[in-house]
Structure 1
Amino acid sequence: MEVKARGLVFDVHESGPADGEPVLLLHGFPQDHREFDLILPRLHAAGLRTYAMDQRGYSPGARPADVAAYTMTSVTADAVAVLDSLGIEKAHVVGHDWGAQVGWQLAGRHPGRVRTLTAISVPHPRALLLALRVRPSQQARLAYFGVFRNRRAEKLLLAQHALALRLMLRPIGMRAEQYVAAMREPGRLTGGLNWYRAFTAEQISGLGVINVPTTYVWSDKDGVVGLTAALRTRDWVQGDYQLVAMRGVSHWIPEQAPRELADAVLARIGV
């Protein structure tokens, strides 16, 4: 369905029992709501109502041209406004990659809207900032940020039949093709890259301790986040907390390990 919020129109894919507790699903780059498709049957069988949102830059009706429109403040406000439009006071939040970043912001700055948080791959921002200061290896893991922020990034990622995108998503096999095809839509890839271009450390440096019940799901083959950031996330959660560490899984947890992720989500929600 289309949800109007903040002068934009977001595509939100709702499913599951109509009377189930609401779960807001927030995707990352370069994916969209479909990255959660493999865990949805388990969530629905447990009686949960899911709302998988195509975020700013991905929904056709929510692609502002200005890079400054893609700050963490803006994309977090989008999620709050979508909940408002849906009439949902509090939701369980599940986010991967940039969606996890939005999840941390929601839990930290709008805790009254979040029942539980399951953050996938991306740790608490303050833990990541610490790891960047003390671990050169973590700096190297995030070197791709500079490439994605470059004004030529669209051409680089789509060159040679989108070879770079396909290599990024290689661990999920043929499922990558749906995202590669979608990124050829006018403005979609630029919208996704604008999250990187608009990002500054100041946007997350003020985020404090999380008090809502939280699970952080990390995988040891993640090329983006190292062990230090994963372990130090515990320092920034005062609510009930669990770290779920997966072995032999890459950054693309929702599609590479959907059963294990669904277990973690359901355990956090408590159903």
Structure 2
Amino acid sequence: MDSYTRGDLTFPVLDRGPDDGPVTVLLHGFPQDARSWDRVVPDLHAAGLRTLAPAMRGYPASARPRRRRSYATRETVADLVALLDAAGVDAAHVVGHDWGGAVAWAAAGWHPDRIRSLTVLSTPHPAALATALLHSTQGLRSYYMALFQLPWLPELLVGLSLRRTLLRSGLPAADADRYVAQLADRGARTGALDWYRGMPFSLRVPVPDVTVPTTYVWGRSDFALGRAAAEATAGHVRGEYRFLELAGGHWLPETRPADVAAAVLARTGSVPGPR
């Protein structure tokens, strides 16, 4: 499949790997795209996994609703469920990074029957993050989330400083240039930023503790997400759980792809084949 629809929205999808392999959905974050997984997927495909990497809502012009409430987690999780339905998959392994990780946590909490396993990169469980915002330095790290609630100013700031910010936070230049280019249009910037503007609507429906087998991968130098929330995440997983701490920052799919692939393969129970 190269796309799927939900209502009047159309989501491009990178569908790669063996057609008959176990389906693993890869969910990107801000300000990334489906190709953020390009360095990870060769190892997954060699192990026999089929990967579906959708463009998340707000990024493609074909899936860019205008209302803030359209970016609430209940909507973004429904996008994932619609993808599984369109692919004819009862349940899939799900891997998420950044905002994609938030979708993955919520999907596992609300729809455990659709999630075979969960691997989340960087993003802690939402309840752990909420606690850390009040009882650690996480609030200082997350100041930009409040800033992004404003109209038009965040679009201006992202247009002026996104590349510099990405490079300073450790993202490779080639990836930074691609992400900046895809947000060159103001409408695309608004679509990406509306994930943050949808947060007040997301808070109305809490994410329960997760019961599916879960691996959480965190970089100890992550500029955005600190240790307090990372360590507290274990208290919100009641299924089999692994916590992997890497000597890395926030951009784990781009900078630590071998470690990410190994974590996914260990969680899915897959064994790499010959390269």
How many angstroms apart in 2 are the aligned matches of 1:65 and 1:101?
21
- Secondary structure of 2:215's partner? strand
- Secondary structure of 1:187's partner? helix
Q: CA offset at residue 202 of structure 1?
A: 5.6
Partner residue, 2:273: none
- Secondary structure of 1:118's partner? strand
Q: CA offset at residue 150 of structure 1?
A: 1.9
Q: CA offset at residue 60 of structure 1?
A: 2.1
TM-score, normalised to structure 2, is 0.93
How many angstroms apart in 2 are the aligned matches of 1:66 and 1:244?
37
Q: CA offset at residue 82 of structure 1?
A: 1.4
Distance of aligned partners of 1:63 and 1:201 in 2 relative to their CA distance in 1, 3 Å threshold: closer
How many angstroms apart in 1 are the aligned matches of 2:205 and 2:124?
14
Residue 167, structure 1, aligned to residue 172, structure 2: no
Number of equivalences: 266
Partner residue, 1:203: 203
**Cα deviations across residues 20-47 of structure 1 (Å, max 9, x unaligned)?**
0000110000001011110010000000
Matched to 1:18, the amino acid is D
Partner residue, 1:116: 117
Q: CA offset at residue 203 of structure 1?
A: 2.5
Distance of aligned partners of 1:111 and 1:226 in 2 relative to their CA distance in 1, 3 Å threshold: same
Could you tell me which runs of 5 or more consecutive residues in structure 2 were left unpaired when the two chains were aligned. Answer: 271-275
Paired residues of 2:74 and 2:202 also in contact (CA < 8 A): no
**Cα deviations across residues 65-96 of structure 1 (Å, max 9, x unaligned)?**
11221111111111111111111111100000
Could you tell me which runs of 5 or more consecutive residues in structure 1 were left unpaired when the two chains were aligned. Answer: none
Q: CA offset at residue 184 of structure 1?
A: 1.2
Distance of aligned partners of 1:242 and 1:88 in 2 relative to their CA distance in 1, 3 Å threshold: same
**Cα deviations across residues 198-246 of structure 1 (Å, max 9, x unaligned)?**
1028637622111100000001100111111111111111111000000
Q: CA offset at residue 164 of structure 1?
A: 2.9
Matched to 1:3, the amino acid is Y
Q: Matches of residues 88-127 of structure 1 in structure 2 within 5 Å?
A: 88-127=89-128
Partner residue, 1:231: 231
Q: CA offset at residue 185 of structure 1?
A: 3.4
Paired residues of 2:96 and 2:103 also in contact (CA < 8 A): yes
Partner residue, 1:245: 245
How many angstroms apart in 2 are the aligned matches of 1:214 and 1:108?
11
How many angstroms apart in 2 are the aligned matches of 1:3 and 1:107?
21
- Secondary structure of 2:203's partner? helix
How many angstroms apart in 2 are the aligned matches of 1:258 and 1:125?
24
Provide the aligned C-alpha RMSD in A. Answer: 1.4
